[in-house]
């Protein structure tokens, strides 16, 4: 089972100063900052997935790349741009989530071929149109006409795509995108894509589905899938079900969930092989928008906030060096939380106490935890938060590796 990490230009600065919370004045982001595969050992994924919508933008506006970054990607190619090791492979896709509200995908086959070819991807996924709806096998419900139309659009574009790759002698592997609204419709998509000549098929639109629903679709696909056809799950990360998925022809998947949970999840921010912990929120007085609003409105004293913030950071670092008792750290955190959140907001103190009691970063083998210690468990700014996300990717990679040898 191979894991691909979708790119969204997530990098960290190796020279970031955690004590003063500032970057080097000589830092050049794209040149000096590093990706997860450069920051973590072993590399926490088998490859990366890059969407055209992220690079070039779509109907929702500009992508994540600046104009110079975009030009550099096209000039250098995906492998050199990302400074990828030989062991990492690459997949390009269109980023269908970015145009989900449109009647048709905004891209033409030729421009997608140009994107994949000029960037030098190992594989490229055909243009698809997401169907967000599910009808179980036992239901007599009829699909919405828009769902049927989107499936036909996806199949029509897939046929044009593979025909064009052969005609132009494309060097990347064409991957067919299958869309559906239930087991039978996904099986139909896979059958049609195989007839076109695809031997690698990406299943899209499954993100909202429960694991048992995905399995129902995979079982239906088994009835039509040829032995040489491998399946890729787009946007799916269900480690507990991956062994079952693999039995039904799934050979790869991509997901950002482990990374994003580091700073998007309410509680499960720091992952371990067997558990997850809440990161300790110490918002920056001068960098947190919500806190800045409280200060500007007069609800919070800036001077008090700065003192409380510094007290928290000092206590946490002393705790990590075993120079301060847990009770003293919790007292500092309680003071700052009361100041920032007020009496009506949810308290995280009991979760912080659990995190600090177990101190999972002390026993973590990943290079980031060994280097940064407790800093990686502090919820504060993108440099700490993304490093914690990179750590989560390393944990996910280890879990997948264990499955492979189980």
Give the active site residue among 93, 101, 265, 266.
93
Q: Is the dihedral of CA 193, 252, 121, 207 positive or negative?
A: positive
CB 202 within 8 A of CB 232: yes
| Whether pLDDT at 60 is above 80 | no
Q: How confident is the model at residue 300 (pLDDT cuts 50, 70, 90)?
A: confident
Catalytic residue (one of 10, 33, 254, 320):
254
CATH superfamily of 46-255: Queuine tRNA-ribosyltransferase-like (3.20.20.105)
Structure tokens at 275: 């558990």
- For residue 18, what are the CA distances in angstroms to 13, 226, 332, 365? 11, 53, 19, 21
Residue 128 designated active-site = no
Active site residue 93: yes
The reported pLDDT for the residue numbered 241 is 94
pLDDT digits (tens, 9 = 90+) for 170-203: 999 999 999 999 999 999 999 999 999 999 999 9
Half-sphere exposure of 366 (CA within 13 A, CB side): 30
What does the block give as tokens for 302?
Answer: 């800036």
Give all strands (DSSP E) within 219-373, no chain letters.
230-233, 250-254, 270-271, 276-277, 280-281
pTM: 0.93
pLDDT on residue 405: 54
pLDDT digits (tens, 9 = 90+) for 77-87: 999 999 999 99
Mean pLDDT in residue range 54-65: 79
pLDDT at 21 over 90: yes
- Break the chain into its structural domains and give their ranges: 46-255, 266-398
Residues ≥6 apart with Cβ < 8 Å to 351: 267, 277, 278
């Amino acid at each position: 089972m191979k894991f691909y990490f979708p790119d969204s230009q997530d990098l960290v600065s190796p020279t970031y100063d955690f004590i003063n919370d500032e970057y080097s004045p000589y830092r050049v982001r794209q040149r000096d900052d590093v990706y997860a595969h450069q920051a973590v050992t072993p590399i926490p994924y088998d490859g990366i997935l890059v969407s055209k919508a992220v690079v070039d933008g779509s109907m929702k506006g500009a992508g994540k790349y600046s104009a110079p970054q975009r030009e550099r990607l096209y000039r250098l190619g995906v492998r050199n741009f990302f400074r990828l090791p030989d062991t990492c492979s690459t997949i390009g896709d269109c980023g269908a989530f970015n145009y989900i509200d449109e009647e048709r995908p905004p891209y033409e086959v030729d421009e997608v071929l140009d994107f994949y070819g000029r960037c030098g991807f190992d594989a490229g996924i055909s243009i698809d149109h997401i169907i967000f709806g599910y009808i179980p096998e036992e239901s007599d419900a009829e699909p919405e006409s828009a769902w049927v139309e989107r499936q036909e659009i996806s199949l029509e574009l897939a046929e044009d795509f593979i025909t064009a790759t052969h005609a132009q002698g494309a060097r990347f592997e064409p991957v067919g995108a299958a869309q559906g609204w239930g087991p039978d419709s996904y099986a139909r998509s896979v059958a049609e894509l195989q007839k076109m000549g695809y031997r690698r098929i990406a299943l899209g639109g499954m993100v909202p589905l429960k694991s048992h629903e995905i399995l129902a679709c995979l079982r239906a696909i088994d009835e039509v899938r040829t032995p040489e056809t491998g399946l890729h799950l787009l946007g799916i990360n269900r480690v507990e079900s991956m062994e079952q998925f693999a039995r039904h022809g799934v050979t790869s998947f991509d997901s950002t969930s482990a990374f994003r949970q580091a700073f998007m999840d309410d509680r499960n921010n720091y992952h371990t092989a067997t558990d997850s912990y809440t990161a300790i929120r110490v918002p920056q007085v001068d960098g947190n928008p919500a806190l800045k609003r409280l200060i500007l409105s007069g609800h919070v004293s800036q001077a008090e906030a700065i003192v409380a913030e510094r007290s928290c950071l000092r206590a946490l670092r002393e705790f990590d060096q075993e120079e301060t008792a847990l009770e003293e750290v919790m007292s500092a955190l309680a003071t700052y939380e009361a100041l920032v959140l007020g009496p009506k907001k949810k308290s995280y103190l009991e979760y912080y106490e659990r995190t600090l009691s177990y101190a999972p970063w002390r026993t973590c083998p990943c290079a980031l935890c060994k280097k940064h210690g407790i800093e990686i468990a502090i919820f504060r700014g993108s440099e700490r938060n993304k490093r914690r996300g990179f750590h989560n990717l390393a944990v996910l990679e280890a879990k997948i590796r264990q499955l492979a040898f189980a």
